[in-house]
Amino acid sequence: MLNRTGFLVALFACSSFALLGTGAINSAYADQTVSDAVQQPAPNKIHGRVTEVIEAAGYTYAEVDTGKEKVWAAASTTPLKIGDVIAFTTEMPMENFHSNSMNRDFPIIYFVNRFITEDSTSTAATTAAVAPHDKIKPAAAARAVEGIDKVEAGNTIAEVYTDKQKFEGKTIRVRGQVIKFTANVMGKNWLHIRDSSTSEDLTVTTDSTVAIDDLVVIEGKLALDKDFGYGYVYPLIVQDAGVTTE
């Protein structure tokens, strides 16, 4: 069961949208020149200079000095080094987070989909990274994945959304492509899948491990309007699902 105080999120999914149980990242502003060069972040973003980087279990953890305080964030493996200026969103905070692998406690850490860096090729988890002081480019519009047929005795994602009231509390089967995967968030792995029926994606929690772009069949109970705290409310989510990779 997900712990309310430990949630970010997944997910997007799921972010999202995992990450998580091992490592840490550092960022800090070195001098006033850099501080002046970087605009003040929007309320939902943090900018700073990396002061420490730790790689663990496929994730990069960093401590960032904003010029006022130091904060921790973690994302999928990203080539960072001390002194880099980065930005990240504050959408997935986790309070009193304990890393078993590091045997370390964090009063608060942000688990994010990606770090925004000055090098557009340096962030593995994004297709459009920009310098923190540049205007953030909008993400490409979501679209359906071609060539994914409905699983036998199952439903498409569009059908699940359309008939969600009917499916609430019932076990559903859906085939889709993994577009986001976050591991070990509140004891669960989080993934988002998409199929050919709609541009909407379906959020799933599971004990299984998958990779981005895997074609999977998920089977689990559909829940509606799940509130995990920190403003994260999922209109629909499949919980504790079995996942089969095809």
> What's at 141, amino acid-wise?
A
CA–CA distance, 19 with 12 (Å, rounded to integer) = 11
Whether 130 is in a domain gets the answer no
Counting the structural domains of the chain, the total is 2
Mean pLDDT of 44-53: 87
Range of the domain at 236: 157-245
Do 29 and 97 fall within a single domain? Answer: yes
Intra-chain end-to-end CA distance of the chain, in Å: 27
| Distance, CA of 11 to CA of 114 (rounded, Å) | 13
> Tens of pLDDT along 78-113?
888 888 889 888 877 888 888 776 677 888 888 888
The Cα–Cα gap between 179 and 194 comes to 7
Give the per-residue pLDDT at 225. 87
- Using one digit for the tens of pLDDT, what is the confidence trace for 18-33? 333 433 333 333 333 3
Q: What percent of the chain has pLDDT over 70?
A: 68
Which of 87, 117, 147 corresponds to the end of one domain?
Answer: 117
Q: Residue 48: which CATH number?
A: 2.40.50.140
Compute the C-alpha angle 13/209/199, nearest 5°: 35
Percentage, residues of the chain above pLDDT 90: 35
Contacts of 215 (CB under 8 A, 6+ apart): 148, 175, 176, 177, 178, 245, 246
Q: Are residues 103 and 191 in the same domain?
A: no
The answer to whether residue 31 sits within a structural domain is yes
- 112 and 161 share one domain: no
Residue 223 forms part of a structural domain: yes
